[in-house]
Structure 1
């Protein structure tokens, strides 16, 4: 078995507008770089490679908690040292905690000879998401591990379905504010109207069908959220204008990435995706709010071992 490995852990877009906690998509950019070493004692060591303030207690770290669960399940005298180069900032809405959680378990599994299935890895990685948000959810870690688009049909028992992902372009803007996942969950309504639930179910089914059939127009029509987005969008300056003007610029549709504040848009061509980026930049320049943008594609591999 190898003693060390480097991996790229990609960002993700959770929910995909209407699929709260059940749909997710893997991005080719940005990525965290992680270096994981196999130890011959039962412990997890966390290090930040770039000085970013990460919790060093493994049980309080989104990369560490999944590894503690993995070690406990193996019941062997092994452990891991994890060095994290954090490029996906926490609170960005593009799967920072998931990148750490998924990256650590994929790297550890590689060092152990790939003894665990992808579903096992998601099961471990969800412990990292619980550290970040207080609840286990898989709509970021599943696409991060499986690649492409994933449907989480169930958490208990875990049931993950890989969905064929068309060759679409993704434009993401990250306004430089932080929206904590736990806080974004707190403001959600506990009950919804039946008519809203019916509309949401139709959109989720339409979106999945659109991906499977490679029907981009159906994908665009289905990117509508009548339950979560109306509440969460108030936390994101300029959201309504960004969404409306990006669609005018040719985007198929989009919305809040995860719990925000990032906003994503899907486009059929790279040229359209770049026009959408210009729209996003213009709006946030006008608001006077700092931001980062990414124009990328759907990552169909997930976490990548690079050595």
Structure 2
């Protein structure tokens, strides 16, 4: 069978994971973007249609197109082009890796269509160019877990060094997406350029303890470690009722949580599906009174990352 078309399922992701600003991310099982890529007799990239979001179909103005051009520029002898159809189930600006799902999905799908020529780390680097286009910064803490699955640690950017972390089997995420806009670039602008040494020490301790808690499947240690003393106090002012939400969710049994990416989504981690669903009910009760449209997702951690199926045509 000639493999000329492929359908990609690219997951939502949570970046920063509380204390892990710009270095720890994790993949969710839902929601998931879908991307169909086909080899084409026409040269270059053509984005045929985008469902579910108003985004440009010009390849040079779309994350998917930017990633595909980045890849094709590294493979100058390719004699055919690529056609793309995108189904956006992860809304742009949601804070759960919408641009990363597009970037990572395009990188993985094109690589498979073109003969599986790139390593995982190389694919992450290529997908990071999509993130650079979307937010101005080529960060990896969304695209890495989207591609690799589970929890990932970005140990270094120069050179890029990615570490897969253990995923406790009963860990679930509850995510609230308020339908307000927070641009990543603006959310970065309000961050302090310098931090106190005392705050840095607390943050380092929490990052180390969070990783230890994941490997030990020690949910109480995970709970104690989900504390961000550097970024959350600044960005939380952009999210209505953030601290009330966090406090009530912890009362409802959540281990803890924080802002997903640059927001506006807020995530809470729980031990077990039933607890995660109860936390979702708590979120619903709080936000139903605010007059803000919102969506709530309850999801296990996605240990597989991007999935795909070949299309027979």
**Smaller-chain TM-score bracket:** over 0.9
CA contact (8 A) 1:95 1:140 kept: yes
Q: Answer yes or no: is 1:202 the counterpart of 2:205.
A: yes
Q: 1:67, CA displacement in angstroms?
A: 1.0
Matched with 1:145 is 147
- RMSD over aligned CA atoms reads 1.2
CA distance in 2, matches of 1:197, 1:47: 47
Residue 207 of structure 1 and its aligned partner are, at CA, apart by 0.7
Q: 1:1-307 to 2 correspondence within 5 Å?
A: 1-50=2-51, 52-76=53-77, 77-167=79-169, 168-307=171-310
Give the SS at the match of 1:173. Answer: strand
Contact persistence 1:71–1:79 (CA under 8 A): no
Q: Which stretch shows the higher mean deviation, 229-238 or 51-60?
A: 51-60
Q: Equivalents in 2 of 1:276, 1:126: separation in Å?
A: 33
Per-residue CA shift, 1:103-154, capped at 9, x if unaligned?
Answer: 0011111112211111111000000000111011000000000000000111
Shift of 1:40: 4.2
2 CA distance for matches of 1:171 and 1:222? 18
Distance 1:169 1:51 in 2: 26
Q: Distance in 2 between matches of 1:50 and 1:66?
A: 19
How much does 1:41 deviate?
4.8
CA shift at 1:51, angstroms? 5.9
Alpha-carbon distance in structure 2 between the residues aligned to 1:23 and 1:150: 6
2-side partners of 1:214 and 1:113: how far apart?
A: 38
Provide structure 2 residue ranges, at least 5 long, that are not aligned to the other structure: none
Question: Bigger shift: 139-148 or 79-88?
Answer: 79-88
Figure out how many residues of one structure are paired with residues of the other and give that number. 307
The one-character-per-residue Cα deviations of 1:270-297 (angstroms, maximum 9, x if unpaired) are 1111110011001111111110001110
TM-score (norm 2): 0.95
Further displaced range: 55-64 or 218-227 = 55-64
* TM-score of the pair, normalised by structure 1: 0.97
Contact 2:53 2:92 in 1 (8 A): no
Task: Say whether the 8 Å CA contact 2:52–2:89 is kept in structure 1.
Answer: no
SS in 1 for 2:14: strand
Q: CA-to-partner distance for each residue in 1:24-76, whole Å, 9 max, x for gaps? A: 00000000111011234541112334262212232321111111111001112
